[in-house]
DNA sequence: CAAGATTGAATGTTCAATCTTG
DNA sequence: CAAGATTGAACATTCAATCTTG
C-alpha cells in the first residue's frame, strides 16, 4: 500500500526533525543558544561578514526569521551589524570575539550530538540517506516552483 | 569525511521538513487549515473521540501545543470538546460534522502532495527512506532518554 | 521601480507553572 | 500526590506590508 508508506514517512520525518531540534535545543539552552542560533552562527563563522539577504537565500527562510534571529544574537553580544560602506542599503553581519569564542565551544556539542545520532546508520546508510534527502528536496523545489507559478497567474 | 555527511544530512533534513510543511500550509491555507491542523484532524478522524493526553503521546508534543491546536480547531467549528462522563478530569475531542466534511475534502489534497513528492523515489527507495527514518528515530529516543536521566540526576 | 532590511500580525512550538479532579 | 487540561512567557517561523537606498 502506497498510503501506508506516505504516513510512515510523514510521521517519521516530522518526528525526527522536531525531536532532534528539541534535543539539540536542550543541549544548547544552558549556553543561551539554540539549534537555530547555532546554525546561523556556523554560517557566519564559515563565511565571514555576510548580509541578511545572503542568509535568507542560503537557508530558504523568510526575511522576518533572519532579522529576528540576528536581533537575538546581537542582543546577546554574539554578532554585530555594520553598515556596508559600499552599499548603503546593506548591513554586514559578523561574529564578535565573544561570539566566535562561544561558537568554538558549541560546535563540538553539535558535532557530538550529530555523531551520536548518525551512529545508528552505517556509512553506506548515511550516504543513502543523504542521497534520498537530496532527491526529495529536488522534487520539492519543483512543486514549490509550480505553486509560485500558479499563484502568479491568479493575481497578476 | 564524516563531517561533510553530518552537515549535508542536517541541512537536507531541515530543508525537507521546513519547506514541505510550508508548501503544504500554502495548499491548505485557502481552506483555513494547515499541516499541523490537518494531521491532528486525521488522528481524530481515525481514532474517534480522543483525549488531549492521548494526542500528546501520539505526536510527542508539548501539552501547550495540543491545547492551542484544539482551541483553534474548536473556534473554527471543526472539533468539539465534551467532558468525559467517566473521568471528570478528562475531555473527549471529536470532529464536528463540519469538521468531518472538511477533512474528507482536505485529506486528498495532502495525499496528492505526498504522492507528488514521493514520486521522486522508487518503491524500493521509499522503503529505504522509511527504514532509515525509523532507525534514526529509535536512536534519538535513546539519546533523549539519556538526557532526561542526566537532568533527573542534576535536580533531584 | 527593485533590492536590502525591518516591522506587524498570526501560527506552532517548548518549558514551566497552575488549577481541577482521582 | 498523580493525571488531565490549561495558561504564561519565550522563541522560530510564515506572510504581507513598509521604509530606505540604488
Give the DSSP per-residue string, B75-94.
Answer: HTTSEEEEE-SS-TT-EEEE
Q: Chain B contacts of A143, Cβ < 8 Å?
A: 23, 113, 116-117
User: Which one, of B118, B91, B114, lies nearest residue B42 by Cα?
Assistant: B114
Residue B10 Cβ < 7 Å to strand D: no
Is residue B80's pLDDT more than 50? yes
Q: What is the mean pLDDT of chain A?
A: 93
Residue B11 Cβ < 7 Å to strand D: no
Q: Chain B contacts of A13, Cβ < 8 Å?
A: 13, 16-17, 20, 133
Q: Chain A contacts of B125, Cβ < 8 Å?
A: 132, 135
Residue pair A86/B109 in contact (Cβ under 8 Å)? The answer is: no
Q: Grid coordinates 510527542 are at which residue?
A: B60
Is residue A155's pLDDT more than 60? no
Inter-chain contact A130–B18, Cβ cutoff 8 Å? no
pLDDT tens digits along A65-106: 999 999 999 999 999 999 999 999 999 999 999 999 999 999
Q: According to the 3-state scheme, what is the secondary structure of A59-79?
A: HCCCHHHHHHHHHHHHHCCCE
- Single pTM value for the model: 0.91
pLDDT tens digits along A20-33: 999 999 999 999 99
A24 vs A110: CA distance, rounded Å: 7
Q: What is the mean pLDDT of chain B?
A: 93
pLDDT tens digits along A103-142: 999 999 999 999 999 999 999 999 999 999 999 999 999 9
Is residue B156's pLDDT more than 50? no
Inter-chain contact A144–B19, Cβ cutoff 8 Å? yes
Which nucleotide has the shortest C1'-to-CA distance from A57? Answer: C4
Q: With an 8 Å Cβ cutoff, is B121 touching chain A? A: yes
Protein CA at A24 to nucleotide C1' at C4, angstroms: 32
pLDDT tens digits along B101-129: 999 999 999 999 999 999 999 999 999 99
Confidence of residue A156 (pLDDT cuts 50, 70, 90): very low
Find the mean pLDDT for residues B10-31. 94
User: Which one, of A32, A19, A20, lies nearest residue A103 by Cα?
Assistant: A32
Residue A85 Cβ < 7 Å to strand D: no
Amino acid at each position: 500500500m502506497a498510503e501506508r508508506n506516505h504516513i510512515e514517512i510523514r510521521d517519521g520525518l516530522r518526528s525526527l526533525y522536531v525531536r532532534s531540534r528539541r534535543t539539540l535545543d536542550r543541549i544548547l539552552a544552558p549556553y543561551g543558544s539554540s539549534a537555530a542560533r547555532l546554525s546561523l552562527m556556523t554560517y557566519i563563522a564559515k563565511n565571514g561578514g555576510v548580509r541578511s539577504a545572503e542568509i535568507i537565500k542560503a537557508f530558504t527562510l523568510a526575511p522576518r526569521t533572519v532579522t529576528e534571529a540576528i536581533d537575538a544574537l546581537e542582543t546577546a553580544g554574539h554578532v554585530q551589524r555594520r553598515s556596508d560602506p559600499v552599499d548603503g542599503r546593506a548591513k554586514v553581519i559578523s561574529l564578535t570575539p565573544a561570539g566566535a569564542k562561544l561558537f568554538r565551544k558549541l560546535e563540538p556539542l553539535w558535532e557530538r550530538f550529530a555523531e551520536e545520532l548518525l551512529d545508528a546508520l552505517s556509512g553506506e546508510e548515511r550516504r543513502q540517506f543523504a542521497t534520498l534527502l537530496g532527491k526529495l528536496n529536488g522534487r520539492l523545489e519543483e512543486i514549490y516552483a509550480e505553486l509560485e507559478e500558479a499563484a502568479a497567474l491568479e493575481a497578476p
